[in-house]
Structure 1
């Protein structure tokens, strides 16, 4: 949440606004000032969108009561339990379980009406979730999808629901057409395009 607020949050808070801060001053034992929610996008905490669960204390979350105090403008309404009931001290979540949780998160993401959504989470969660996709793509594209994220890396992806192709109304900003030809990465496709004399 600190990363999300640092990247997408507003300016430092001033006493002149009546909106709650996204993050209060000093969160995480830092010397950071409070960060304003003024002119910031909405922030929603989603329990599914977490790092590998279990064993490691750093992967256990605090209570939602604590988080609400630290991050007053973040919406925690989708989280049902105040305490972390998913993290187990003696059982580490299997990679397949992380991927399944990731797929559930993506199913929830499909229900959103927004066309542009930033997902701020941990690289392990993204790696295992995205590895479940792209089996029908060119191997180079599949490799790009499954590449580990670097620390604080931002990637832009377009997610297409093939079930919406041909419908009159799309819930995304994708036109709903499948490109002609092989599903190649853009640099390979450009080489092929130039090599064919086109």
Structure 2
């Protein structure tokens, strides 16, 4: 997996927020899909695969070396297991023992907050609070929820925020934003995220507020 150097930007205006968008590392459901195309076992809440944990370790080194970890004030994550594991693995505290045997944190570790707003598209489950009978969330609905989520982020006090979510949600959200944000990466912002990939964008309050109907768009 290629893990391009993350981007940080200390020169933000008062109406701007820097968002580091992260797709979760490889989950067991991703591995199953690669091994058995067309016959995917249904995972309701897959954990990370061994490769996923390796991706987390590599990205942890990247964000630490780039200085990004020191700038992030909060991590907002989907509540599913693979995103929680990615959030803690990449951005969580890293502890070591001092000469007295006490555990001490060696790096900045921002708080991690889970919200349903940035979870994967609805799953057909009676226990899923976003579930609607006989219906899965459309790309348009995912995009609308993405803009609602970004507006929620804009209302928070933090200026630099990491978001750990899912490929479809992140892609549809960026498509909905279109030219309403500044992309800080060289990669095409509208393509599918790789596992554990980080893309950084600067979002402007006024730009998102002017998107009608929470940015309903058609899928790619």
TM score, norm. by length of structure 2: 0.45
Structure 1 or 2, whichever has the larger Rg, is 1
Q: Which has the higher contact order (CA 8 A, sep 6+)?
A: 2
